[in-house]
Structure 1
Amino acid sequence: MTLPAPDTDWFAVPTLHGRVVTLEALRPEHASDLSEGATEDTIRFLARGGPEANTPDAWAQYVERLNALPRRINFAVRDRASGRVVGRISYSEVNVADRWVEVGTMLLPAAQGSGVNPEAKRLLMGRAFEVLGAQRVQFKVDALNERSLRAMRRLGAVQEGVLRQYQVRPDGRARDSVMFSVLAAEWPEVRAGLEARLDALAAPVERPAFS
């Protein structure tokens, strides 16, 4: 298949607007919202660990460390209804030569099970495939993270295998990572699924009528 010409700058960090979320460049000033909404489970499965403490200062330092990593682009996920930052989503690795990106997501508990996750993924995967001309988007999930594994299967990503003891976490555990991917030819079907989930989750709740 013929792919669109790659965007001139895969490392740009544009603001992406959706129905329920806005994605914007992740900055240390987002740390207060992240700290306020985080729990121990928020950072339990992060490959690079998380902040050293659940405080705004520690979160700000964590954001600075993420932003300093090469070939990585980080977005804050801002809930449009509340105006608060409810997580981050990243191109955790960008490979321009081979035309692929890896996506990683961290959402606070308040955003889980809502339209936030499907729309954030739709926006970031859509930019990869439709603007940058990527031919592959991949995901690596901790083999112990059942919630994220279910989310990947619901997304429609193809499970490619397990990278055994692929990464040593800051706590010393050798993490097995499950590899998933979506190819450019598969994106229209995956996008339709994300949009259907978003429609269902963002729809107003019907309340019973009482006479």
Structure 2
Amino acid sequence: MSETTPAPAEQWFKTPRLSGRLVTLEALRPEHGADLSAGATEDTVRFLARGGPAENTPQAWAAYVERLNALPRRVNFAVRSRVSGRVVGRVSYSEVNVADRWVEVGTMLLPGAQGTGVNADAKVLVMDRAFGVLGANRVHFKVDALNERSLRAMRRLGAAEEGVLRAYQVRPDGSARDSVMFSVLRGEWPGVRAGLLARLPGDSTRSGEARTS
């Protein structure tokens, strides 16, 4: 793996607007709770490691966003559809480790955005930033071992499946959660990126060129 100079530490915690073909990412704010509440179902929050809102109301979602934004070493983006203009989920650097040059990525999408290419577009944006702007060596993902949909998505992504962290976290219902660890290294990113772009509609060779504003 070739070396690259990492960005200054403060840059890793910024939330610039990132534009792809299908979505725009922006800083996650409490006012996004209205869109999240309107599109959420019970399954939306079932596998969230940090738990979800107390109830499916704009106010509860706003409180959930505030709770996420208060967590240390975390950066949260709202995923806004460029078609509808509505917020359809969030994607986060759920843990940032500047010293060791890695980030963990976590995603929550509303049901209406699943299977549409939104997930692929959002992942291209945050992973392009991690590897190309921040200078990360590694991006990893931890998936609930019971979340079959997300496990299938990660295996399609082409990330390396590193193993199971047994009883690593506690679910909101109090049960022990096994987490399956996946990772992508900087040298692997071009191939993984190409696979993600191939899932996007239209001219996918250009659709993932992230624009920052």
The answer, yes or no, to whether TM exceeds 0.5 is: yes
Name the counterpart of 1:3.
3
Deviation at 1:115, TM superposition (A): 1.3
1:136-161 CA distances to partner (integer Å, 9 max, x unpaired)?
00000000000000000000001000
Deviation at 1:201, TM superposition (A): 10
- Classify 1:74/1:45 alpha carbon distance in 2 versus 1 (closer, same or farther; 3 Å): same
Q: Where in structure 1 are there 5+ consecutive unaligned residues?
A: 203-211
Q: Where in structure 2 are there 5+ consecutive unaligned residues?
A: 205-213
Distance 2:3 2:23 in 1: 28
After TM superposition, the score normalised by the length of structure 1 is: 0.93
Name the counterpart of 2:174.
172
Higher normalized contact order (CA 8 Å, seq sep 6+, divided by chain length): 2
Alignment length, in residue pairs? Answer: 202
Task: Give 2:24's aligned amino acid.
Answer: T
Runs of 4+ in structure 1 displaced over 6 angstroms? none
Deviation at 1:4, TM superposition (A): 2.5
Deviation at 1:170, TM superposition (A): 2.3
1:159-199 CA distances to partner (integer Å, 9 max, x unpaired)?
00000000112210110000000000100000000111113
- Classify 1:50/1:139 alpha carbon distance in 2 versus 1 (closer, same or farther; 3 Å): same
- Could you tell me whether the CA contact under 8 Å between 1:114 and 1:201 is conserved in 2? no
Q: CA RMSD in A?
A: 1.2
User: Identity of paired residues, percent?
Assistant: 77
- Classify 1:174/1:201 alpha carbon distance in 2 versus 1 (closer, same or farther; 3 Å): farther
CA radius of gyration, larger in:
1
Distance 1:102 1:58 in 2: 25
Q: Which of 124, 129, 153 does residue 151 from structure 1 map onto?
A: 153
Q: Which of 61, 64, 67 does residue 62 from structure 1 map onto?
A: 64
Distance 2:39 2:202 in 1: 25
